[in-house]
Amino acid sequence: MKNTLAVSLLVVLLLAGCSKNDSTKAVGATIKIDGSSTVLPILEAVVEEFKKENPQYNLALGRSGTGGGFKKFSRAEIDISNASRPIKASEAEDCAKNGVEYIELPVAYDALAVVVHPENDWCSEMTVSELKKLWEPAAEKKVTRWSQIRAGWPDEPIQLYGAGTDSGTFDYFTSAIVGEEGASRPDYTASEDDNTLVTGVAGSKYALGYFGVHYLEENRDRLKAVKIINDTGGSTVAVEPTAESVIDSSYQPLARPLFIYVNKAAADRPEVKAFIDFLFANIAELTTEAGYVPLPNEIYDMAKERWGKKTLGSVFGEHGSQVGVKLTDLYKAEKE
């Protein structure tokens, strides 16, 4: 009887220990992802499919904006940071100070769309010079009416909507259009949440805004795309943001690559490795389903090689966003 009781107690203790270990493993298997709202739909698509095959893992997705995501990433608060631009030198320095090493991985192409209300029947295209006139810092409280942008346009106030300062979209747009990253008039409705910007532009005939083309595609019945004439680049052709114009590089200067950054320490965890492996095995299909433009297979192959070798740092070095630079050239240069 005593022996039976002793064995029973031992089994209970062993089961309790196993339960505790399993619980700890489940908690530790959470992959924390934050950052760009532009990249978020791609990651949401990947997470949904990944969970079907790997229900044992938990994933936490946030949308703090590219800058907000990098702040958390540099403090090792998240495992993966989504970014709609390359990491800045200052952000890389913050990572280094905190001992955070990272692997930069491109995932898709995107285009920034300039949009207006569907009832806007005068603005079907704009030059880069006109956009600069509208968005540069000198325009604050001075360029406030449509008639100031182009003769013949209505003498009505422009209601502006655009990315918040923590957004990689803000950084890229100001660099591409104004010519200086972060240089923008402040008197507009800003948000890191693209859905807020969609609602704003869709609510006023005299509104104009910009954000990732994915949100335009999801709201074609509520928004109208403005074609872009890259006059500063010598073009006279008005180009609409489409998959074709992004791939053939005719939609300039508002086409850009999107990235994820993986904490090197997290990359060694089995759940993170499984997630990134799954991402690259399915990225082209899921990117298309999410409404973005897949990268060429050559770039995906280079990215997979970076991931396999755990290559640290950014191919952009200290330069950050570089308008018009080709990813293929940067990754080839890295291998040489």
pLDDT digits (tens, 9 = 90+) for 140-172: 999 999 999 999 999 999 999 999 998 889 999
Q: What is the mean pLDDT of residues 72-94?
A: 95
> Predicted confidence band at 22 (pLDDT cuts at 50, 70, 90)?
very low
Q: What pLDDT does 148 receive?
A: 98
CB within 8 Å of 247: residues ≥ 6 apart: 109, 293
Q: pLDDT above 90 covers what percent of the chain?
A: 71
Q: Within 13 Å, how many C-alpha atoms sit on residue 234's CB side?
A: 0
The token pair at 248 is 């053939």
CB 197 within 8 A of CB 211: yes
> Predicted confidence band at 25 (pLDDT cuts at 50, 70, 90)?
very low
d(CA 218, CA 56): 32
Q: Is the pLDDT of residue 99 over 90?
A: yes
DSSP character for 265?
H
Q: What is the mean pLDDT of residues 75-85?
A: 95
Q: pLDDT above 70 covers what percent of the chain?
A: 88
Per CATH, 29-110+257-335 and 111-255 having the same topology is answered yes
Q: Is the pLDDT of residue 7 over 50?
A: no
Question: What is the C-alpha end-to-end distance of the chain, expressed in Å?
Answer: 75
pLDDT digits (tens, 9 = 90+) for 109-120: 989 999 999 999
> Predicted confidence band at 243 (pLDDT cuts at 50, 70, 90)?
confident
Domain residue limits, the chain: 29-110+257-335, 111-255
Paired sense of beta strands 189-191 and 159-163, if any: parallel
pLDDT digits (tens, 9 = 90+) for 195-226: 999 999 999 999 999 998 989 989 999 999 99
Q: Is the pLDDT of residue 36 over 70?
A: yes
Q: What is the mean pLDDT of residues 19-46?
A: 73
Q: Is the pLDDT of residue 2 over 80?
A: no
> Predicted confidence band at 325 (pLDDT cuts at 50, 70, 90)?
low
Q: Is the pLDDT of residue 14 over 50?
A: no
Q: What is the mean pLDDT of the chain?
A: 88
Q: What pLDDT does 321 receive?
A: 57
The token pair at 173 is 């747009």
Question: What pTM value is reported for the model?
Answer: 0.80
> Predicted confidence band at 63 (pLDDT cuts at 50, 70, 90)?
confident
CB contact burial 14-29 (16+ within 10 A = b; e otherwise): eeeeeeeeeeeeeeeb
111-255 is classed CATH 3.40.190.10: yes
The token pair at 171 is 């950084």
CB within 8 Å of 259: residues ≥ 6 apart: 39, 82, 83, 84, 85, 86, 104, 105, 106, 107
Q: What pLDDT does 20 receive?
A: 36
Report the topology of domain 29-110+257-335.
Answer: D-Maltodextrin-Binding Protein; domain 2 (3.40.190)
Q: Is the pLDDT of residue 233 over 50?
A: yes
